[in-house]
Amino acid sequence: MTFRLAFLNLEQDHRRWEKRRRLIVDQLTALSPDIFAMNEISVPSQTGRWLQSQATARIGKRFALVQQTKTNTSSRIEGEGLLTRFPVLETGNLDYRTQDYVALVARMEIEDRIVDVYVTHLYMSRGDESLRIFQVQQLLEWIDARDDADAQIVCGDFNAAPDKPAAQLMAKTFTATQSAPTAFTPLADDTGGIAHPDWARMDRSIDYIWLRGPIAALDSGVCFDIPDAADKTLWPSDHAGVWADLDWV
């Protein structure tokens, strides 16, 4: 059975969320994924719960929501999450103990097989690469400690292009579904200020869907990459997203 997974870094509720969220929902509806992984869910605005209700109503599938907030004071601000139409058997979380970053896992049953879907967000692109390497090492150790699933999928903003050590460490045991550019879109705020002004537009792949086990991508690409028709500075987020059609092999 082919199933579709999509991922997007939501940029919390910043930069005209009330306007750009309709772009997310419209493009999410067009994608119609079975699993939707998310970085930077806004805790105060409950953006995860809002997207859950919108996806259920618009796509016509009942989605479960799994969320994990960051740690310490960041727990009041943002977290990671996913929506899934598959039965959730178990959830868990990992505290990297670096800069409040976390990972979550949701164990699902898909066609009588067990899949662990992880969602994480690694240390910022301008930060120390050694911290991202450390986080990937912890993530892989955690995944290996949960080796009784049939397959593993890891989604997230790794803040590392494919040639960077953190991404290369993941690639030793996981396969990325794509390496097309996902960052950064020219999303602007109310004053016209463009997100990440020091970076080039859409010149790097830092958002991933990683696969391990008897599962493969039949097709994959970039998504959430269409701006508003009347305002080319209004995008779904400051990143584009990633989608993949997956099947057992």
Predicted TM-score (pTM) of this structure: 0.97
pLDDT at residue number 126: 77
CB 9 within 8 A of CB 37: no
Angle at 138 between CA 98 and CA 156, to 5 degrees: 80
> Cα separation of 244 and 249, whole Å?
15
Please choose, from the candidates 58, 67, 62, 14, the residue with its C-alpha nearest in 3D space to the C-alpha of residue 39. Answer: 67
Q: Which two tokens stand for residue 137?
A: 């090492």
Please choose, from the candidates 111, 120, 113, the residue with its C-alpha nearest in 3D space to the C-alpha of residue 92. Answer: 120
71-118 pLDDT, tens digit per residue, is 999 999 999 999 999 999 999 999 999 999 999 999 999 999 999 999
What structural domains does the chain harbor?
Answer: 3-248 (3.60.10.10)
CB 205 within 8 A of CB 180: yes
CB 88 within 8 A of CB 114: no
pLDDT at residue number 165: 96
In what order do the strands lie in the sheet containing 207-212?
88-95, 102-110, 113-121, 151-157, 207-212, 175-176
Low-confidence ranges of the chain (pLDDT < 70): 127
- Looking at the chain, which runs of residues are DSSP E strands? 3-9, 35-42, 64-69, 78-84, 88-95, 102-110, 113-121, 151-157, 175-176, 207-212, 215-223, 241-248
pLDDT at residue number 54: 98
